[in-house]
Amino acid sequence: MRLIPLVALLLAMAACLGACGARSVRAAPHGPRSPFLIVLGIAQDGGVPQAGSHTHPGWRDPSRRRMVSCLGLVDPATGRRWLLDATPDLPEQLARLYEACPLGAAKAPDGIFLTHAHIGHYTGLMFLGHEAIGGSGVTVYAAPRMKSFLEANGPWDQLVRYRNIEIEEMTPGRAVQLTECLRVTPFLVPHRQEYSEVVAFRIEGPARSALFIPDIDSWNDLDAMGVRIEDLIASVDVAYLDGTFFGEGEIPGRDMRTIPHPLITTSLARFAALPATERGKVRFIHLNHTNPALDPESSAGRQVRSTGMGLACEGSVFSLGRDTEGSPPN
């Protein structure tokens, strides 16, 4: 299945969707009853523009800014909302999550699923603390080492002591059942593990499913774990995959082997032999501020689209039910 275009969604479903690249999401008056995912950020941990990149046009043009990689998960039937990763952009991402489908009060999310302990993926937890939201028992789903890291290190341990958060340990390979027809399953992926293991997520709804792998060293390293990315793609309806860097030499003066990620060009070549329906599921996410594909109209962006694959777009929505269907908003 494919991502949902705004026009089709509003006319056919009056569902909640934001325009590609917009800085806010405008909700329709009546949303779908099925759970859905919303892309709340597409950038690498440092965001776009990144600290120190003083000449980046995003400092002067807000439309060129992108938030850190994050998905929101919404169950409109109950008004419950979850985040996949807690980024430094959490305040605005929470606002967008609520605006996408404003049902009930939502000072804090109902839960947050963490992939790992790199700065763009968990430091947003600070906004649940005493100085900001002052959360009360917000469920944080974390794998064993990630849970231990939060409990043993400040300032995160204060969130636990003050009961701003309640950490629920996830077991890789075991699904977390959120509702009768909505579950999230973590699974281990190879990536730098300085402070925690690294997991990715399979999200399953009543009719559709999605894959979220924002960080991984390489597809070959995943092969070595006995898991093929092609099989994972085949098992879902949309796949948000690590697209941190587009190609070699993207960061002058640095050996990119010390920052392992599958290059988009490598992924395009590897997935080229897949059927068009499989390639059409791929959405690259977690793009570094140097990645030329951040501009979908660049030659890099056009190269991605020419293969039938796509780029994750802030504000785009993917239904996990049977209520919507359409073309990706690329």
* pLDDT 10s digits, 40-86: 999 998 999 989 889 888 999 999 899 999 999 999 988 899 999 99
Write the secondary structure of 61-93 as one string of H (helix), E (strand) and C (coil). CHHHCECECEEEEEECCCCEEEEECCCCCHHHH
Which tokens sit at 151? 């409990």
Task: Give me the CATH topology for the region 6-319.
Answer: Metallo-beta-lactamase; Chain A (3.60.15)
Packing angle, helices 299-306 and 264-271, rounded to 10: 20
Residue 4 has pLDDT above 60, yes or no: no
**Please, which residues have CB within 8 angstroms of residue 22's CB and are 6 or more apart in sequence?**
314, 315
Cα dist from 49 to 25, 57, 143, 179, whole Å: 21, 8, 30, 37
103-137 pLDDT tens trace: 766 678 999 999 989 989 999 999 999 899 989 99
Look at residue 212 in the predicted model and tell me its pLDDT. 98
Residues paired with residue 284 on neighbouring β-strands, in sequence order: 241, 311
Is it true that the peptide bond before 252 is cis, omega within 30 degrees of 0? no
196-212 pLDDT tens trace: 999 999 999 999 999 99
Confidence class of residue 330 from pLDDT cuts 50, 70 and 90? very low
Percentage of the chain surpassing pLDDT 90?
Answer: 68
Look at residue 29 in the predicted model and tell me its pLDDT. 33
Buried b (16+ CB within 10 A) or exposed e, 138-148: bbbbbbeebbe
Report which of residues 130 and 89 the model is more confident about.
89
Give the pairing of strands 138-142 and 111-113. Answer: parallel
CB 26 within 8 A of CB 46: no
Look at residue 258 in the predicted model and tell me its pLDDT. 72
**Residues 182-193: what's their mean pLDDT?**
93
Handedness of CA 5, 47, 114, 159 (dihedral sign): negative
Q: Residue 95: how many CA atoms within 13 Å on its side-chain side? A: 8
- Look at residues 26, 37, 41, 34 and name the one whose alpha carbon lies nearest to residue 100: 26
Edge-to-edge, what's the strand order for the sheet holding 80-84? 165-169, 138-142, 111-113, 80-84, 70-75, 36-41, 317-319
Which tokens sit at 41? 């950020």
CB 3 within 8 A of CB 238: yes
Look at residue 107 in the predicted model and tell me its pLDDT. 77
Look at residue 66 in the predicted model and tell me its pLDDT. 94
Cα dist from 7 to 28, 97, 157, whole Å: 11, 20, 45
Q: What is the pTM of this model?
A: 0.87
Look at residue 21 in the predicted model and tell me its pLDDT. 34
253-297 pLDDT tens trace: 777 677 788 999 999 999 999 999 999 999 999 999 999 999 999
